[in-house]
Amino acid sequence: MQPVIVVYKPLPQDVLDDLRRHAQVVVCEPAPGQAREAFSVALGDALVHADGAIGASVKITPEMIARAPRLKAISTISVGVDNFDLADLTRRGIVLAHTPDVLTESTADTVFALVLSTARRVVELAEWVKAGAWQGSIGPEHYGVDVHGKTIGIVGLGRIGGALARRAALGFGMRVLYTNRHANETAERTYGATRVELSELLAQSDFVCLQVPLTPQTRHMIGAAQLRSMKRSAILINASRGAIVDEAALIAALADGTLAGAGLDVFEHEPLMADSPLLAMRNVVALPHIGSATHETRHAMAACAARNLIDALAGRLSRNIANPEVLAV
């Protein structure tokens, strides 16, 4: 008998067809206007008889997993795994697969787009032009700041951080500082990156880019004290997870001039509320969590996640496992 797979995020047709060649597929998608909570209940019901699941952007709780005794594997169409309780999945012997490689370059492109757009005030000035306000030569009140030759500080020099360092050093002649649990010898040798403590990185960098996963240790790692330690001319870029930054502290720092600007692709609560003070700030570029959102990359992520799940259910997955400890359970 074929395994039963629950799909809880829309997939490209060819990827869905591939899954159907290997399993019985149950598609669980939110109805138009359906609240997130209601969809979570529906998804929990669908998981009861499932052997595997594939999707993204939904919190999969231990309570949902407890109702799914047949579940052997989950494949998330993302690199981040903060929507899951890894310890609970591991204890139950459930493999969690993710897609850490295929989105690296596209996400690094997005990060650097935020660097450029905040430094050169691209979004603000584009809207100014569209509003018909451009009546003559611009003056200093509309100037941005240079990116080339500046110092970029990368908090977390993994795959995406390394791709960002390559763009910064080789493309824009930037000095690269980084913090990481382990030294990145390739980045040091190839891009001249220097590993420093977080306090030094914050104090010296013109652009601080956050590229760490969300864990209990990284939640709110950038708060009021850290923001005060940065240059007043500095720009903060966050395209990892919103809760790494204390959003209230960031809003205060941007409002009082402690920080020059911010480029944000992620927020503590998504979608960002329409009354968020961030949306009224001219020195903020806010994007709707588009880090990997290109046609090519999203298709590659879905295909990778589907293959991960097929292999996991067949007992042959040896890559892209977020909780490798499960193999010893």
Instruction: Tell me the backbone φ, ψ of residue 109, rounded to 5 degrees.
Output: -60, -45
- Which domains are seen in the chain, by residue range? 4-102+295-328 (3.40.50.720), 104-286 (3.40.50.720)
pTM of the predicted model over 0.85? yes
Alpha-carbon span 170 to 193, nearest angstrom: 11
Alpha-carbon span 239 to 291, nearest angstrom: 7
Is the confidence at residue 240, as pLDDT, over 90? yes
Q: How confident is the model at residue 37 (pLDDT cuts 50, 70, 90)?
A: confident
Tell me, yes or no, if 270 is annotated catalytic.
Answer: yes
Q: How confident is the model at residue 1 (pLDDT cuts 50, 70, 90)?
A: confident
Average pLDDT, rounded, for the chain: 96
The pLDDT of residue 36 is 77
Q: State mean pLDDT over 127-142.
A: 96
pLDDT-above-90 percentage for the chain: 94
Alpha-carbon span 193 to 205, nearest angstrom: 13
The pLDDT of residue 265 is 98
266-303 pLDDT, tens digit each: 999 999 999 999 999 999 999 999 999 999 999 999 99
Tell me, yes or no, if 241 is annotated catalytic.
Answer: yes
Q: How confident is the model at residue 121 (pLDDT cuts 50, 70, 90)?
A: very high
Of 22, 241, 247, 307, catalytic: 241
Q: How confident is the model at residue 32 (pLDDT cuts 50, 70, 90)?
A: confident
Of 197, 270, 296, 325, catalytic: 270
The pLDDT of residue 100 is 93
Is the confidence at residue 26, as pLDDT, over 80? yes
Tell me, yes or no, if 37 is annotated catalytic.
Answer: no
Q: State mean pLDDT over 228-257.
A: 98
Of 22, 98, 289, 307, catalytic: 289
Q: How confident is the model at residue 235 (pLDDT cuts 50, 70, 90)?
A: very high
Is the confidence at residue 31, as pLDDT, over 80? no
Q: Which amino acid is at 199?
A: S
61-99 pLDDT, tens digit each: 999 999 999 999 999 999 999 999 999 999 999 999 999
Is the confidence at residue 312, as pLDDT, over 90? yes
The pLDDT of residue 50 is 97
Alpha-carbon span 25 to 89, nearest angstrom: 22
In this structure, are residues 200 and 175 in contact, taking their beta carbons and an 8 Å threshold?
A: no
The pLDDT of residue 233 is 98
